Amino acid sequence: MKKRLWIIVILVSIIILLLQTPLFALTGDEQFASVEERRILTAIRERDERLSVREEQLHGRELQLKTLEAEVDKKIAAMQRLRTELSELLDRRDAEENARIGELSLIYERMNPQQAAVLISELETQLAVNLLLGIKKKTAGQIMERLNAETAIKLSNAFTDLSVDETAGN
């Protein structure tokens, strides 16, 4: 029995010694059984540090991208507002221009067809077409009869080139 006790004591002592050896130590201060273990652990730590640095860089870039995205969104919103304002201004200008052309058409309609033909022959083609569209058809025909052939052909071609949208507004 004493022999058995001694064997148990020796085995426990060996186990305690083994747990204290560098290979089995579990303390914060790593002790290595081999140079290879030290090299591997060092490589792992370096890789971990590089990954941490890379993660910080990516986080910084992510913040930059979010900031830039917010700025771009603001600029897009501002551009859309400007586009809407510009569209409204153009619509208003077109409406005013159409109103002026309508008033001018009434003036030309009341004129002597010969005088109206002389004046219309000097106008830009599009303006002349718009004026003639605003005049009663009978009066417009009388004016067209008095235009020289070249101008009448030019205006007739411009009439046929008008889109449906352009004639619908007049």
Q: Does the model's pTM come out above 0.85?
A: no
pLDDT in tens, 73-132: 999 999 999 999 999 999 999 999 999 999 999 999 999 999 999 999 999 999 999 999
- The torsion angle over the Cα atoms of residues 170, 108, 120 and 139, rounded to 10 degrees, is 80
Q: Measured between alpha carbons, how far is 53 from 60 in angstroms, rounded to an integer?
A: 11
Q: Measured between alpha carbons, how far is 33 from 89 in angstroms, rounded to an integer?
A: 83
pLDDT category, 8, cuts 50, 70, 90? confident
What is the pLDDT, as a whole number, of residue 14?
74
What is the per-residue DSSP string for 98-116? HHHHHHHHHHHHHS-HHHH
Helices (H), 1-148: 2-20, 35-110, 113-122, 125-134, 137-146
pLDDT category, 62, cuts 50, 70, 90? very high
User: Could you tell me which residue, 38 or 170, shows the higher pLDDT?
Assistant: 38
Angstrom distances, CA of residue 127 to CA of 57, 97, 132? 63, 10, 9
What is the pLDDT, as a whole number, of residue 131?
93
- Please check the confidence at residue 166 and state whether its pLDDT lies above 60: no
Q: What is the mean pLDDT of the chain?
A: 84
